[in-house]
Amino acid sequence: MDKAGDLPSLLKKRRGIKILIVLKLRERDRLQSLFLEVLEDQNKRELLLYSLCYIQLVKKEGSFSISLDEFLKCAYRSFRSSRNQWKDVLVELNLLKITDIYGSVYSGKDIYKIQENSLLFISLDPAYVDDFHLISSKLVKYWGIVHKLEYGKLWNAQDAVSLGVYIFNEELYEEYMDYAEIQKERFKKETAFFEVLEEIIMGLTTKREESLLHWLESMERVKKLPEVYYGINIEKLKKDIENNWKRAQKGKRTERIKVEFIKQSKKDNFWRRLKEAFQRIYKHFVFERPWNIHAKNTRPEPIKECVNV
């Protein structure tokens, strides 16, 4: 297996491995589905907000059971209209349950039966309690990525690629695999790039024999990309992949890879701003698209008057 000549035989396994990946994607959990839903529809950001409010209050109170009134105050301060539709949001979120002082539990569509004039508490679905800290970490990352989306601008291939990089760099690998499957259907010309990062993820997360296959695949696929691809430093990415390929061959631990963007000169920034101005004009007079990525001001805004994460 140490010989490079043995690797072509492993390539025959590629199709079977790919099928297994696709099957796994179909078993996506609720949290990952939530993230993809918000990326597709920014009007659903409240789903993430509600989840974050709950996480913050749990950390503050030291209990998984939180007063529903306190919970809604947190959400209300950030989304002024949310109090009137909180039941709709919780039903769609499908991560939290509500209990009354008599021990009755309400989840899913049963939440619509709740009488608001009684003392109520909200808590996490028991299926997710053991993973609370992982969920908390993921939700903060989700919010940071979603906050890089800007309403009302042109949605294009560059946006899809840039967003994929943000997800990958946060090491949200399962989420990236789901996201890439969707974007490869939407932007077929960018398939090569999405598949490079998929192969890297498989190289980082599989056992040695399989990882060698994926590092080899990623090296082959990245050759199809120009040195700079939508502002991404592909030359550095190639070196990082080759480094991990060599480490994997020697049985050494592979290193995490972070995709980097090329720093633009002032001249490049001028032309980029001019291009974006034309895009805004075009969008205004011709059509609207859901959202666009912007690189500046990427720090997520704090949820006003709520506990900091």
Q: Is residue 250 part of a domain?
A: yes
- In this prediction, residue 276 carries a pLDDT of 55
Sign of the CA dihedral running 28, 34, 38, 39: negative
- Percent of the residues in the chain that have a pLDDT greater than 90, as a whole number: 48
Query: Do 179 and 279 fall within a single domain?
Result: yes
**Edge-to-edge strand ranges of the sheet holding 105-106:** 66-67, 120-124, 96-100, 105-106
> In this model, does residue 233 exceed pLDDT 80?
yes
Query: Do 159 and 201 fall within a single domain?
Result: yes
Q: Which of 29-33, 145-149, 249-253, 272-276 has the lowest mean pLDDT?
A: 272-276
Query: Do 123 and 221 fall within a single domain?
Result: no
Query: Do 113 and 255 fall within a single domain?
Result: no
Domain that holds residue 68: 41-134
> In this model, does residue 87 exceed pLDDT 60?
yes
Q: Is residue 145 part of a domain?
A: no
Query: Do 190 and 88 fall within a single domain?
Result: no
Question: Of 31, 142, 176, nearest to 96 (Cα)?
Answer: 31
Q: Give the β-pairing of 228-229 and 105-106.
A: unpaired
* Spatial distance between the Cα atoms of 101 and 264, rounded to a whole number of angstroms: 59
Segment 52-77, tens digit of pLDDT: 999 999 999 999 999 999 998 888 77
Query: Do 61 and 117 fall within a single domain?
Result: yes
pLDDT grade for 299, boundaries at 50, 70 and 90: very low
- In this prediction, residue 277 carries a pLDDT of 58
Query: Do 174 and 60 fall within a single domain?
Result: no
For 44, 65, 88, 129, 281, the CA distances from 93, given in Å and listed in that order, are: 10, 17, 9, 16, 36
Query: Do 267 and 163 fall within a single domain?
Result: yes
Q: How many CA atoms lie within 13 A of 144 on its CB side?
A: 14
* Spatial distance between the Cα atoms of 121 and 65, rounded to a whole number of angstroms: 6
Query: Do 212 and 248 fall within a single domain?
Result: yes
> In this model, does residue 187 exceed pLDDT 90?
yes
Q: Compute φ and ψ for 100, nearest 5 degrees.
A: -105, 180
* Spatial distance between the Cα atoms of 280 and 152, rounded to a whole number of angstroms: 9
Query: Do 15 and 45 fall within a single domain?
Result: no
Name the domain count of the chain: 2
Q: Is residue 140 part of a domain?
A: no
Query: Do 163 and 24 fall within a single domain?
Result: yes
Query: Do 19 and 159 fall within a single domain?
Result: yes
Q: What's 265's domain CATH number?
A: 1.10.3450.10
Predicted TM-score (pTM) of this structure: 0.74
